Amino acid sequence: MCGYTDMTADVRKRIDEDAQLLSHQDPRQRVEGIRRVTALARQLPLADRDAAIPILERVVEDREAFVRWNLAFALGEIGHEHALHVLERLSEDEHANVRFRAALALALIGHGRALPTLQQLAADTYKIGEHSVVRAFAALALGRFRQEVAVSALARLVEDADPVVRWHAAVALGDIGLPSGVVLLAKLVDDPIPFVRAHVAIALAQIGDRSSVPILERLAQDRMPRVAQISRASLELLRTTVGGEGV
């Protein structure tokens, strides 16, 4: 126990030393400070990493966006739930890179209290060209939460105008793995993008509910050979796992 206490004290001392970089005039050095503090915090048990959160929070309003988005990702790597209030602030940042990295960080932490913030990010309107990158990453992040509220949050995203968002929503529903996701995935069976339809088949196999069989049978006849192939494999897997050819 003494050795563990000494190790913890040593790491915290080094965190305090490296945290001085967070006040450096050069923003690249501030990013280096974020990285060093994060690497040290990850040497501690998860329960003890909360000490690094208020230290890193010093740069939550840094004037450089790339400092703020490195902060968001670092908080996800640390993984402590005490970072949620900082990520809530970053989810409202003016820069889209900060917001989508906040979504990824919330997924890495995986705490249920992150869901309202992810629901907010799932309505983000920022686009690069025709693609809603923040909504797409929010959809993917929701896949980390095996809860009905996460499925409900994806209901709007499976009908999104952006195929990248629909694709990420399909992947997320498969990752969540709840049977309630089957109804939402069924809405994508006629999606105009083959890549989306293929991921619907994969997601249905992940969920493994017998109600998916008619949907997969339809996708197995898809006009795109690759989608049909993936769907047939998913159908075979489902039949194997839920009880035979009669399914």
Q: What is the mean pLDDT of residues 9-13?
A: 90
Q: Which of 1-10, 36-45, 111-120, 220-229 has the lowest mean pLDDT?
A: 1-10
* pLDDT tens profile 102-123: 999 999 999 999 999 999 999 9
Q: Looking at the structure, do residues 108 and 223 belong to the same domain, yes or no?
A: no
Q: Looking at the structure, do residues 244 and 131 belong to the same domain, yes or no?
A: yes
For 63, the domain range is: 1-121
Q: Looking at the structure, do residues 59 and 96 belong to the same domain, yes or no?
A: yes
Q: Looking at the structure, do residues 1 and 115 belong to the same domain, yes or no?
A: yes
Q: Is 128 helix (H, G, I), strand (E, B) or coil?
A: strand
Q: Alpha helices of 125-193 — where are they, by DSSP H?
A: 133-142, 148-154, 163-176, 181-186
Q: Looking at the structure, do residues 93 and 29 belong to the same domain, yes or no?
A: yes
- Identify the CA nearest to 126 among candidates 142, 110, 141, 138: 138
- Dist. CA 75–CA 115, nearest whole Å: 16
13: exposed, middle or buried (C-beta count within 10 Å: 0-12, 13-18, 19+)? exposed
* pLDDT tens profile 120-136: 999 999 999 999 999 99
Q: What is the CATH number of the domain that holds 106?
A: 1.25.10.10
Tell me which of 77, 106, 121 is where a domain ends. 121
Task: Look up residue 60 and give its two tokens.
Answer: 């939550």
Q: What are phi and psi of 184, to 5 degrees?
A: -70, -40
Q: Residue 8: its pLDDT value, please?
A: 83
Work out how many domains the chain is built from and give that number. Answer: 2
Q: Looking at the structure, do residues 117 and 2 belong to the same domain, yes or no?
A: yes
* pLDDT tens profile 121-178: 999 999 999 999 999 999 999 999 999 999 999 999 999 999 999 999 999 999 999 9
Is residue 4 very low, low, confident or very high in pLDDT (cuts 50, 70, 90)? very low
Q: Is 131 helix (H, G, I), strand (E, B) or coil?
A: strand
Residue where the block lists tokens 């409900």: 152
Is residue 241 very low, low, confident or very high in pLDDT (cuts 50, 70, 90)? confident
* pLDDT tens profile 169-215: 999 999 999 999 999 999 999 999 999 999 999 999 999 999 999 99
Q: Looking at the structure, do residues 198 and 160 belong to the same domain, yes or no?
A: yes
- Dist. CA 141–CA 218, nearest whole Å: 29
Q: Looking at the structure, do residues 90 and 139 belong to the same domain, yes or no?
A: no
Q: Residue 9: its pLDDT value, please?
A: 87
Tell me which of 91, 121, 151 is where a domain ends. 121
- Dist. CA 34–CA 234, nearest whole Å: 43
Tell me which of 99, 121, 143 is where a domain ends. 121
Q: Looking at the structure, do residues 50 and 137 belong to the same domain, yes or no?
A: no
